[in-house]
Amino acid sequence: MAPSRSSPHTPVLYHEVLSALKPASQGRYIDGTIGAGGHARGLLETSSPDGEVLGIDRDPGALQLAQTFLAGYGDRVHLVHGSYLEMASFAAALNWAEVDGILLDLGVSSMQLDQPERGFSFLQDGPLDMRFNPLQGLSAADLLNTLPEDEIADILYQFGEERRSRAIAKAILRRRPLVSTGDLVEAVISVLGPRRKGMHPATRTFQALRIAVNEELTNLPQSLSAAVGMLKRGGRLAVISFHSLEDRIVKQFFRHESMDCICPPGQPACTCDHQAVIKLITRKPIMADEAEVNRNPRARSAKFRVAERL
């Protein structure tokens, strides 16, 4: 079944996710970034009548939407406010020793981008926040108004791959204190110039700050390891990423954990004692087709990788 038109969010690669995770009756599944519940609804529908889904999200607003959207599934759905980094403890609270499938849909959702008060979008003026959990941690404004110039530049370069990171950092310091997303856009445009054809000049800066604020890349490797450890034999881990750095981490983790030997090339005998715990289902990432990109432009940058527990 396709997503309901009443859903506030269009899930990316919806059919590909269901095909990869193969939901079945009596199955237990984790959606570590449930958002408004689009993918979770598909998991519940296809694992009918008694499959269950544990849905996790750091954004309390998203959980409220998911609770409404998935209300008809009763006690088959379990919603928790938190990070997918904590999925093992959340599953243990349900007495789930192992699960049949796990989905991680990384990055910011279109719902969050559409809310100016969240500070994710450079197209609408709002508070310079960018926290997935607005009740916890430092905001983007906190970082930009307190960090030294070189640390701001490093964030923009490492997480946004912004080539003019140092010049933008200087422009940010000249404009302190920055309060709104509009303040940050002005700082970027003062260096890169106004938008022309193609990508908005503030895209990489906003992306980098969002990743830094939410520690997305820091938490990802540990979360992938925890997810693999929770899968039963034949269970699958599916990850959708929207950024080259995220996809690189997923690709390298999957490759590492699918190898029986990780010794340096040319070493005459294996001494690592490493054993593969997963097999790759997708050797190359699955991308959205043209029809989906036309319906949902956010899908253009999505890369989908799947591995199965041995």
How distant, in Å, are the alpha carbons of 33, 89, 228, 230, 271 from that of 93?
18, 6, 18, 14, 39
Can you give the residue ranges of every domain in the chain? 14-105+217-309, 114-214
Instruction: Give the pair of three-digit tokens for residue 253.
Output: 């983790």
Q: Token match 């022309």: residue? A: 196
Question: Rounded distance, CA 308 to CA 105, Å?
Answer: 17
pLDDT in tens, 156-214: 999 999 999 999 999 999 999 999 999 999 999 999 998 777 789 999 999 999 999 99
What string of DSSP letters covers 114-143? T-GGG---SSS--BS---SSTTSS--HHHH
**Contact call for residues 65 and 36 (beta carbons, < 8 A):** yes
Q: What is the pLDDT of residue 26?
A: 95
pLDDT in tens, 236-283: 999 999 988 999 999 999 999 998 877 877 787 887 778 899 999 999
CATH number for 114-214: choose from 1.10.260.40, 3.30.43.10, 1.25.40.390, 1.10.150.170: 1.10.150.170
pLDDT in tens, 135-171: 889 999 999 999 999 999 999 999 999 999 999 999 9
pLDDT at 290 over 90: yes
**Contact call for residues 292 and 299 (beta carbons, < 8 A):** yes
Q: What is the pLDDT of residue 9?
A: 59
pLDDT band at 298, cuts 50/70/90? confident
Question: If 0-12 CB within 10 Å is exposed, 13-18 middle and 19+ buried, where does residue 202 land?
Answer: buried
- Range name among 7-21, 59-73, 194-208, 258-272 with the lowest pLDDT average: 258-272
pLDDT band at 10, cuts 50/70/90? confident
pLDDT in tens, 95-137: 999 999 999 999 777 667 767 788 888 888 999 999 998 888 9
* CATH code, residues 14-105+217-309: 3.40.50.150
Q: What is the pLDDT of residue 7?
A: 52
Question: Rounded distance, CA 58 to CA 63, Å?
Answer: 8
pTM score? 0.88
